[in-house]
Structures are given as structure tokens and as C-alpha cells.
């Protein structure tokens, strides 16, 4: 039998995982349960672990797995027929730390700054392969839904097909995020904003660094 706070916490965590695939932070759990400190959250999580309702996933930031949900016996309702029961899928709540390599232009090419920081990314957003992240600077890809300040998630690869959005390194010094297209003997990098013109380069001037795999956006 769970306490009221334990029951509230596991329901809050389960709902958040079902909605976003990512565990809520300790601060979010503290506020949701109207607790005075995060130490209260730690105690509740430990108690739920001991009772076999929760499991912490090692080497993952903010990663919790709901092993089972408590029976809602307090409602004294008959169990739903098997045909109408809601089946909750196993949450994809892994968070992966990917390298964050600074800012990349979505307008006029700027220098790609190598950095040592990382960005936590829900594993569900990433497919196979090796990935890194770049912060978008500029507005030339807005018509593709890529805005200034977004984080572009890039799958490392050195080839691209026409129409793919790629990170292109120009003359080994400047990087840009554009649609990749071949135009005769030239490489054309197309923006997604009518205010910008396509950029054309000889193949020797352009090296593909990776293909866009997804976008992360933070809201103030």
C-alpha cells in the first residue's frame, strides 16, 4: 500500500513519460507534489524503488523507469474488461549526452566552433549512428521549421542525397546548414527562406559533415 504522496509521484512520473518520453526533473517533481525540498523527492523515489514500482537507469541523466503502477483499489471500481483496458507502452525515457559543437549558420556561413560541452537529448529522437549537436544561428531555414536558437541534431556522415538538409563545411573553415543539391558540376546549397540566395561551390570546396536528424527547441 503506497502513501498518498508516493501514489501522486508515481502517477506524475508515469504521465510525464507517456507524454514526453523523458523523466521529470527533481525540481518539477518537488513542485508537482508541493514539497518543501528535493530531499523529500529522493525519499519518495527510494521508497518506490524498494517496493518495486520504480527503477533508476544507470548512466542516464534524469532516467527513471516505471516498473509497475499501483492498483487503484481506493476507487473500488470493478476491473475493466480485458478488451477495454488501456495498454501503456514501455516509456522511451533514456537520455543521451551528445557533443555540442557550438553555433552553425543557417544564413551566411560562419565558423563552426568546436566545444567541449554536451547536450542531453531523448534517445527516441536519435536513430542509429554517431551524433552531435549544433546551435542554429540565423533565419535562412525558417521555412523548414528551423529557427534561430534551435539545436540541430546531426548524424555524422560524409555523403548526402539531393534534397537532404546537411551540415556542409566550406573550404575546411566555415560551416552552414542547408539543403544539399547537385547542379551539373557544382554543389548548390539551398536556404529555406526566400530572402536568401542559393550558394554554389565546386565539389572540392564542400565537405558534408552530417545529415539533420532532428531539432530540439527550448521555450523561455
Q: Are 66 and 53 in contact (CB under 8 A)?
A: yes
Catalytic, 38? Answer no
What CATH class has 4-75?
A: mainly alpha
List pLDDT tens digits, range 78-117: 444 544 444 444 444 577 888 888 788 766 554 455 555 8
**Phi, psi of 44, rounded to the nearest 5 degrees:** -65, -40
Residues of the chain with CATH 1.10.10.10: 4-75
Q: Name the catalytic one among 83, 140, 156, 211.
A: 140
Q: What is the pTM assigned to this prediction?
A: 0.56
CA 180 to each of CA 3, 172, 190, 212: distance values in angstroms, whole numbers, following the listed order: 57, 17, 7, 11
Q: pLDDT value at position 56?
A: 78
Euclidean distance between CA atoms 132 and 112, whole angstroms: 13
Domain 95-216, classified CATH 2.10.109.10, yes or no: yes
Q: Out of 79-83, 132-136, 145-149, pick the least confident.
A: 79-83
Helix (H, G, I), strand (E, B) or coil at 28: helix
Euclidean distance between CA atoms 8 and 94, whole angstroms: 22
> For residue 216, how far is the Cα from the chain centroid?
6
Catalytic, 178? Answer yes
Q: Name the catalytic one among 30, 37, 68, 178.
A: 178
Which carries the bigger pLDDT value, residue 172 or residue 184?
184
Q: pLDDT value at position 83?
A: 47
Residues of the chain with CATH 2.10.109.10: 95-216
Does the structure show a pLDDT above 90 at 206? Answer: yes
Euclidean distance between CA atoms 1 and 190, whole angstroms: 60
Amino acid at each position: 500500500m503506497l502513501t498518498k504522496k508516493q501514489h501522486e509521484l508515481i502517477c506524475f512520473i508515469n504521465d510525464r513519460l507517456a507524454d514526453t518520453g523523458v523523466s521529470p526533473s527533481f525540481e518539477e517533481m518537488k513542485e508537482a507534489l508541493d514539497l518543501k525540498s528535493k530531499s523529500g523527492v529522493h525519499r519518495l523515489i527510494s521508497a518506490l524503488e524498494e517496493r518495486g514500482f520504480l527503477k533508476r537507469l544507470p548512466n542516464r541523466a534524469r532516467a527513471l523507469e516505471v516498473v509497475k503502477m499501483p492498483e487503484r483499489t481506493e476507487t473500488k471500481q470493478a476491473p475493466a474488461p480485458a478488451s477495454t483496458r488501456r495498454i501503456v507502452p514501455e516509456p522511451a525515457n533514456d537520455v543521451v549526452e551528445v557533443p555540442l559543437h557550438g553555433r552553425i549558420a543557417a544564413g551566411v556561413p560562419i565558423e563552426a566552433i568546436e566545444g567541449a560541452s554536451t547536450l542531453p537529448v531523448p534517445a527516441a529522437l536519435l536513430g542509429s549512428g554517431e551524433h552531435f549537436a549544433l546551435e542554429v544561428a540565423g533565419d535562412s531555414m525558417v521555412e523548414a521549421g528551423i529557427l534561430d536558437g534551435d539545436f540541430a541534431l546531426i548524424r555524422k556522415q560524409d555523403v548526402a542525397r539531393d534534397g537532404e538538409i546537411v551540415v556542409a563545411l566550406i573550404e575546411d573553415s566555415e560551416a552552414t546548414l542547408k539543403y544539399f543539391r547537385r547542379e551539373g558540376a557544382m554543389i548548390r546549397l539551398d536556404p529555406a527562406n526566400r530572402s536568401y540566395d542559393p550558394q554554389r561551390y565546386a565539389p572540392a570546396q564542400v565537405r558534408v559533415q552530417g545529415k539533420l536528424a532532428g531539432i530540439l527547441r527550448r521555450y523561455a
